[in-house]
Structure 1
Amino acid sequence: MRKLLVLFGILTVVFACGQEKKPINTKIMNIQYPEINANNFEQKLVASVKHYEKEPLYYMRINKSNCVVEVLVNDYPVHDDYELSNYATPLAINRAILKSGEQTLTYRLYPVGDLIKEEYGEGDTVTKLTDNTAISISIIKMDNGSEKTLEDEEVVMKHTSLTDDKGRFIASGKPYYEFTFKFNAQVPYANEGWSKGQDLSKLDQKLLEAKAVEFYKEYGKIYENKDSDLLAKLSFGEEKRNSIASYKKLSDIDELWKEYIKRLNYNSIQLQPIENYRKAFFGNGKIIFLMLNSLEYPYRGSGALRVDYIDKDGDEAVLIPDISLYLPEGKKLEDGLYMIN
């Protein structure tokens, strides 16, 4: 049977019918929104969103060549592309913009590896960036109330990768290149997000890793238990930030929750061990993410919790949820981590 990988930026729950439930230790997975449950998730989310006369949405357009790329806004991952092709549509970034003011965008370029060989059936493994490596990024703004046509786009800024005096990519011959630039964004909302989190890179790293692994393992039990209430509690903070930043309407939120619920009926759930991972810090050290040590597509950049299941067509499939954790100010690491807001 073919195997399908499904990656979700939202928390996802699946359930094997008839499978024995395993107790979930919520002291390991701290709950910031105990009042939230499956019945009031949509209502509370709708109530958190304000609407404005102007609702600016920020996007980026990326065009790359002879490289693969990862992009972070304010040190929060918003996009990765480990294929040769480019995205035609603009990519939304409001979820990483917590408030008005100066923002940072960082891109990381890597060699294409075996992608050319896989695409065309021939060619060498590329282990270094080349003379022809290039990337261009445009930050654009549109009003949420507009039809989002090309004519409505306001270009905030454009960036093109640097070259030497002979027109060659400035990092040609290197296995990695990173560049950061700044842009300004004006939004009517202000999200706390992870801004009041502690710098995890300065804490006890063995204890931090142990607490993150504990959280991932306990989180996996949600899939086995079909626990929609715990799903709602854990996902609310991040979805609240995303909904506020995207000015989501009732219909959008209703569709969001349906996507959560739809995945409650997957069959033959098998949780895989938390292994072969590394700690990755984001949000200027305030977010920890356990990332798989894999350069293989489509696992590259994915989280360490892997859930195998059988999809509706009877095929083997893989679900890897996005579990990004932080520690709010005033909290002790010994007492466990929290899902980011």
Structure 2
Amino acid sequence: MKKTFLTLMLATLVIACGQEKKQPINTKIMNIQYPEINANNFEQKLAASVKHYEKEPMYYMRINKSNCVVEVLVNDYKIYKDYELSNLATPEEINHAILKSGEQTLTYRLYPVGDLIKEEYGEGGTVTTLTDNTAIAISIIKMDSNSEKTLEDEEVIIKHVSLTDAKGRFIASGKPYYEFTFSFNAQVPYVNEGWSKGQDLSKLDQKVLEQKAVEFYKEYGKIYENKEVDLQAKLNFGREKRAAIALYKKLSDIDGLWEEYLVDFNKKNIKTQPIDNYKKIFFGNGRIVFLLYQSLEYPYRGGGALRVDYIDKDGDEAVFMPNISLYLPEGKKLEDGLYMIN
């Protein structure tokens, strides 16, 4: 009797543990726009979606900052964030945020350095405002990726330097935040739909919107726990397709991309955390919703509310935060759920 009882107890524990680790995914909550995509054809379908042209203009952002940290958006789509004291050595590609030819906007947001100077040099206090010496310089440059030219042959589209007062002090000195937007023109041979045909989410029922976003984040987390690689491919195809088209990617550029996705599935002891301590924010002029995890600590700052814990190769606890940006295509009902952006 004891043996039978213990056997039943162990079997029950195994089943319970299995259920805890692998809960079924409600795919009705996560709308799928590319049902034909799977892990096996992901790269092939991406390569087939790209057209090539006689001229393939590439746009880059060259940025340099001091006494601040920064976030940058092109067409209200976040393309860059830097919460360190250092600067980029190479320019940043921005084509994936340029959906079509015409006027584009660039917005930068500056924040104080906080404890970075104290952490880096072991002296000084916490900096809670921007300073007299805060500064940023941004250049938009253009290259033809289909030519043999290098970045030394770049064409400068526009240069911007942050504003100062009559005494040369940063115009927002003493403030905890500063934002500035300027425009530039870009000419590209492609047209990406992206989120352009999405509904203005800021005008919809905000309680329902938040509920649907949280539900999507929760179900998305199960993808890693259940190792649903085909579902991952379907959901992320639109975003990768936009980038592949905008960057004129060749098959050699795409080859190995799916392997990068698989890295997250192969992590040890994967466990998603509750969706909490977040703030609902909009991008894409109200067409994109993102749940921002509200922490200024590394590595959480600027990341989404879905946090996936795991054990790294050194046996230490670590976390990754998938970028889940959602929208609602025209003609769709919010009650039926949201979609990953294209």
Between the aligned partners of 1:194 and 1:19, the Cα distance in structure 2 is: 36
- The answer for unaligned runs of 5 or more in structure 2 is 1-17
Instruction: Supply the AA of the counterpart residue of 1:189.
Output: Y
Between the aligned partners of 2:193 and 2:170, the Cα distance in structure 1 is: 38
Q: How does 1:19-98 map to 2 (within 5 A)?
A: 20-98=21-99
Secondary structure of residue in 2 paired with 1:220:
helix
Instruction: Supply the AA of the counterpart residue of 1:221.
Output: K
Residue 306 of structure 1 deviates from its aligned partner by 0.6
Q: Does the aligned pair in 1 maintain the 2:224–2:264 contact within 8 Å? A: no
Between the aligned partners of 1:180 and 1:238, the Cα distance in structure 2 is: 25
Find the structure with the greater CA-based Rg. Answer: 2
Which stretch shows the higher mean deviation, 211-220 or 263-272? 263-272
Q: Does the aligned pair in 2 maintain the 1:19–1:224 contact within 8 Å? A: no
2:6 is matched with none
Instruction: Supply the AA of the counterpart residue of 2:251.
Output: L
Residue 305 of structure 1 deviates from its aligned partner by 0.5
2:322 is matched with 321
Residue 257 of structure 1 deviates from its aligned partner by 1.3
Instruction: Supply the AA of the counterpart residue of 2:159.
Output: K
Which stretch shows the higher mean deviation, 323-332 or 310-319? 310-319
Between the aligned partners of 1:266 and 1:112, the Cα distance in structure 2 is: 33
Between the aligned partners of 1:151 and 1:18, the Cα distance in structure 2 is: 57
Secondary structure of residue in 2 paired with 1:80:
strand
2:235 is matched with 234
Instruction: Supply the AA of the counterpart residue of 2:90.
Output: T
1:192 is matched with 193
Between the aligned partners of 2:69 and 2:44, the Cα distance in structure 1 is: 40
Residue 99 of structure 1 deviates from its aligned partner by 0.3
Q: For each residue in 1:72-130, what CA deviation from the matched residue of structure 2 results, as whole angstroms up to 9, or x when unmatched?
A: 00000000111111111101111100000000000011111111111111102111111
Q: Are positions 1:283 and 2:284 aligned together?
A: yes
CA root-mean-square deviation: 1.5
2:5 is matched with none
- Please give the TM-score of this superposition, normalised by the length of structure 2: 0.92
1:11 is matched with none
- The answer for unaligned runs of 5 or more in structure 1 is 1-16
Q: Does the aligned pair in 2 maintain the 1:146–1:152 contact within 8 Å? A: no
Residue 255 of structure 1 deviates from its aligned partner by 1.7
- Please give the TM-score of this superposition, normalised by the length of structure 1: 0.93
2:8 is matched with none
Q: How does 1:41-190 map to 2 (within 5 A)?
A: 41-147=42-148, 149-190=150-191
Between the aligned partners of 2:294 and 2:138, the Cα distance in structure 1 is: 28
Instruction: Supply the AA of the counterpart residue of 1:317.
Output: A
Instruction: Supply the AA of the counterpart residue of 2:295.
Output: S
Between the aligned partners of 1:76 and 1:161, the Cα distance in structure 2 is: 21
Between the aligned partners of 2:269 and 2:149, the Cα distance in structure 1 is: 42
Between the aligned partners of 1:92 and 1:111, the Cα distance in structure 2 is: 25
Residue 133 of structure 1 deviates from its aligned partner by 0.7
Residue 64 of structure 1 deviates from its aligned partner by 0.5
Q: Are positions 1:305 and 2:306 aligned together?
A: yes
Q: Are positions 1:273 and 2:274 aligned together?
A: yes
Instruction: Supply the AA of the counterpart residue of 2:97.
Output: A
Residue 152 of structure 1 deviates from its aligned partner by 2.0
Structure number having the greater helix percentage? 2
Higher relative contact order (CA 8 A, sep 6+): 1
